[in-house]
């Protein structure tokens, strides 16, 4: 897992006033909203005698432990111990570890790392979110797989005819034309050209039969965010999938995804659009969970990679670059220290 990065942990709409427990990054967090509406994130364990704080409640803007009623302010500092005599002081160590949070694109993001957030990996841009003419839907799914495998699978152009044959069509048209990978300090991307997807689901309503090609602008952002921008080459219609893959732990990943479309933007089409994404996830999930090694190899020689894997190679290179500067954290997989190229 990569430190010094933002991770989407839940949806803004899900997080109301009541404390919410979230498992992510191998840790248990409690999230809650202050009376001012800002999101607080803390370790979900009371420093007194270890109760789970998310079982508690808010008292005048302070999180109250359900066990002995200690109260903690938004800085995680204990401000009241009900059992204490009036003159007793509150121990300095009565302090909970807190995490920076922000809300963007309708998601709650938590910053996980030791460097200041300004020096870490930024939240990827999503300019279409909230822009006029775009409709957003949300979903969440869980994968029994490492987030690196999910991320590289979500920007893979050569698997579609096999894993998603119902949607993307014939396996005898599986060639991937050469593409150019563009790399930034936080992302890798490429534009791939393919035959248009089958006119399945709501695409029946918007696609004409004679479309020669569709392009997909595939991007992977560190640590594990995908953007798939599909341009149907018809009336400017596009579908953007934005998936944030947050490790629950080193064997499980939870994805918060947003589907944005600029066609059939009325709510009645949401269900169709959601079903397409969920179906695709289910098809991916079975294969991706089976992949070994469970985490992408940082060293070359483990797998046999070909031209159509260029985007995966570039993602691993980028990941390794940050891992080598000490941002990788794992208690299951060895840290990739040797700069061997895949
Ligand atoms: S365990 Fe939280 S107040 Fe005692
Ligand atoms: Fe897929």
Q: Which residue minimizes the CA distance to atom 4 of ligand 1? A: 68
Q: What is the pLDDT of residue 259?
A: 98
Give per-residue pLDDT as tens, 56-111. Answer: 999 999 999 999 999 999 999 999 999 999 999 999 999 999 999 999 999 999 99
Whether residue 223 has pLDDT greater than 80: yes
CA distance 278 to 289: 16
Q: Which residue minimizes the CA distance to atom 3 of ligand 1? A: 68
| Overall average pLDDT of the 264-285 stretch | 94
Spacing, Cα 280 to ligand 2 middle (Å): 6
* Ligand number, closest to the Cα atom of 94: 1
Q: What is the pLDDT of residue 137?
A: 98
Query: Above pLDDT 90, what percent of the chain?
Result: 80
Whether residue 260 has pLDDT greater than 50: yes
Spacing, Cα 271 to ligand 2 middle (Å): 20
pLDDT band per the 50, 70, 90 thresholds, residue 341: very low
Spatial CB neighbours of 157, under 8 Å, sequence gap ≥ 6:
176, 179, 192, 194, 216, 218, 308, 311
Q: Which residue minimizes the CA distance to atom 1 of ligand 1? A: 49
Whether residue 113 has pLDDT greater than 50: yes
Spacing, Cα 261 to ligand 2 middle (Å): 19
CA distance 156 to 154: 6
Nearest to 224 by CA among 100, 319, 329, 116: 319
Domains delineated in the chain: 5-119 (2.102.10.10), 135-327 (3.90.380.10)
Whether residue 195 has pLDDT greater than 80: no
Spacing, Cα 100 to ligand 1 middle (Å): 24
Whether residue 338 has pLDDT greater than 50: no
pTM of the model: 0.94
């Amino acid at each position: 897992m990569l430190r010094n990065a933002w991770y989407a942990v839940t949806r803004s709409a899900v997080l109301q006033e009541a404390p919410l427990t979230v498992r992510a990054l191998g840790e248990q967090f409690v999230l809650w909203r202050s009376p001012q509406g800002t999101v607080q994130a803390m370790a979900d364990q009371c420093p007194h005698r270890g109760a789970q704080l998310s079982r508690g409640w808010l008292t005048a803007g302070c999180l109250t432990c359900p066990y002995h009623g200690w109260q903690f302010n938004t800085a995680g500092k204990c401000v009241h111990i009900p059992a204490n005599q009036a003159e007793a002081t509150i121990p300095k160590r009565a302090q909970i570890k807190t995490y920076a949070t922000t809300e963007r694109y309708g998601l709650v993001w938590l910053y996980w790392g030791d460097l200041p957030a300004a020096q870490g990996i930024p939240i990827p841009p999503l300019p279409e979110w909230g822009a006029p003419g775009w409709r957003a839907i949300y979903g969440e799914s869980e994968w029994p797989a490492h987030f690196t495998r999910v991320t590289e699978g979500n920007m893979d152009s050569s698997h579609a005819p096999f894993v998603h044959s119902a949607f993307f069509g014939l396996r005898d048209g599986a060639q991937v034309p050469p593409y150019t990978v563009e790399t930034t300090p936080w992302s890798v991307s490429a534009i791939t050209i393919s035959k248009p997807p089958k006119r399945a689901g709501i695409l029946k309503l918007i696609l004409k039969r004679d479309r020669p090609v569709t392009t997909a602008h595939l991007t992977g952002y560190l640590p594990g965010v995908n953007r798939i921008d599909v341009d149907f080459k018809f009336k400017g219609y596009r579908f953007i999938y934005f998936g944030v893959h947050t490790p629950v732990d080193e064997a499980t990943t939870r994805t918060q995804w947003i589907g944005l479309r600029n066609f059939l933007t009325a709510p009645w089409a949401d269900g169709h659009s959601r079903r397409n994404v969920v179906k695709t996830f289910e098809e991916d999930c079975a294969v991706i969970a089976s992949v070994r090694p469970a985490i992408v190899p940082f060293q070359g020689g483990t797998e046999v990679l070909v031209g159509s894997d260029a985007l995966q190679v570039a993602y691993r290179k980028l990941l390794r670059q940050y891992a080598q500067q000490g941002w990788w954290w794992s208690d299951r997989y060895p840290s990739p220290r040797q700069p061997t190229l895949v």
